[in-house]
Chain A
């Protein structure tokens, strides 16, 4: 994926390879600017226009290639097969329409049904996402609802057509903690009901720990490590992943000082030629600064982009459960 910038093209996402199976939740974790949101927008064909481009690569959905599709064809897929929930429920609903209208519009964008039928679907869906007296709430304007309610409406809007894949981009970041838990339980319930797959994009390790089956850790536009959730937390392999986990406060040993990862994320305008994390890595070798490491598979389904795993040379501490 490329964007033009003052210093030539920049590549916010490069060489990202993800696979989500039916009914599976994949957590995409990374800090701000790591490219996780861009990845999810690219899946929907929603890269910021007119400059964002998928320069190379492939997005396959149920065997169908999405890269290079006409906008009309993508529009037919959006909302119907692939849906998205956005970070900020406060601004993601159109202030001039009732929430019922907005959900009904999503239905009518894909199915030829009457307004009354669409409204009924909207009300049913509002009930499903746990909104009390949905019949009445359907006629409410977004500003009358609380943040948690609005996020439920967003979920209703995204799921009303029972998409196979839901992309949730920081779905709970803008909500307070108790509401976060409610929304996550709701998503989990609906996921099971509908049998859909979820791409959960977040910077919150705790969130993916509880909700994801697989986790991919993203940094500077690359996936640095990918593994099933238990494996990732049990045996974090990439120095970056370990750094991330070390910087989370824990219940036990709370008096220990939290470790921060030194340094800053490199800017996209001048990424280092070698490993993108090299300048902050405590295991850095000369090779890391020259040559970007390929992906090594250390265990079944566990892959790491780090020279430490070259030819099975596992560094000390690996597999110490």
Chain B
């Protein structure tokens, strides 16, 4: 992809920059945050931003900056986990349902049933069954996004399976399994990647919401959702407890949405011409 294209879209560039920055922060968390995020300091609780504590401290005297930095790790891990889970499984199920028509009725009706649940409610039910913890939360949220990816992959498979190159591959004796994995799936990747960026953005919100409701990551682990949940009692006395994690959630979700928009414009051949005309 040409750099010029991104430069033309400055807003999107900001989105990509922020994602890059966040990634760097998350990777270099121990270097960025001098004060460990778990360190309690009751003598210095609820101190406002500035000085030794850039983002202030919370009701236990823990450094908010450190917790935001480590929270970035949690959020990015969670978001990536959801994307990985829903995309890999979704593409497989969608491609199988679209290509092997005998499985279609069963798989797609199952997906329809799952889509009938409000997403957060479904995630809540799953977490209550599975218990808290990163992996369980990823699965719970991942399942709700799985259905959308399945739908997209299924629709794409229905289109791709009619392409002459699929017929040509069948005619040259390629096995069905290889047709699906080597010919159908690689050709649907662009829209799937776009879908994945949006999944990432929305899943961050859901992950934060689960944390906020006390059903996500255990409270000891710093996450933006947990910080919001704990900070809400001090909304008037120490608004920085909510402002910083809240701002990071908003910025991250926004950045991923912007990035997704650009990727969609770039990867969608139908839109391509319009953009180049602009």
Contacts and interface: CB of A to CB of B under 8 A. Distances in A.
Interface in A79-102: 79-80, 83-84, 86, 88, 91-97, 102
A92 B173 contact: no
Interface of B: 101, 163-165, 167-176, 178, 182-183, 186-187
A80 B174 CA distance: 10
A105 interface: yes
A94 B165 contact: yes
Contact of A106 (B101, B165, B173, B186): B173
A19 interface: no
A67 interface: no
Interface stretch (A43-51, A195-203, A313-321): A43-51
Given A94-B187, A96-B186, A88 B164 contact: yes
Interface string A169-208: 0000000000000000000000000000000000000000
Interface residues of A, number: 30
Main secondary structure of the interface of B (DSSP, over half): helix
B171 A154 contact: no
B171 A44 contact: yes
A158 B163 CA distance: 18
Contacts of A75: 170, 173-176
A105 B182 contact: yes
A213 B162 CA distance: 33
Given A50-B101, A105-B182, A94 B176 contact: no
Contacts of B187: 94-96
B170 A158 contact: no
A76 interface: yes
B167 A80 contact: no
A50 B102 CA distance: 9
Q: Considering residues B171, B182, B186, which has the most beta carbons from chain A within 10 angstroms of its beta carbon?
A: B171
B176 A78 contact: no
Given A71-B176, A91-B164, A78 B171 contact: yes
A77 interface: yes
Contact of A78 (B101, B165, B172): B172
A122 to B, nearest CB: 12
Interface string A140-173: 0000000000000010011000000000000000
21 contacts: A46-B167, A46-B171, A75-B170, A75-B174, A75-B176, A77-B173, A80-B173, A83-B171, A84-B168, A86-B164, A86-B168, A91-B164, A92-B164, A92-B165, A92-B167, A92-B168, A93-B165, A94-B186, A96-B187, A105-B178, A158-B172
Most interface-central of B163, B164, B168 (chain A CB within 10 A): B168
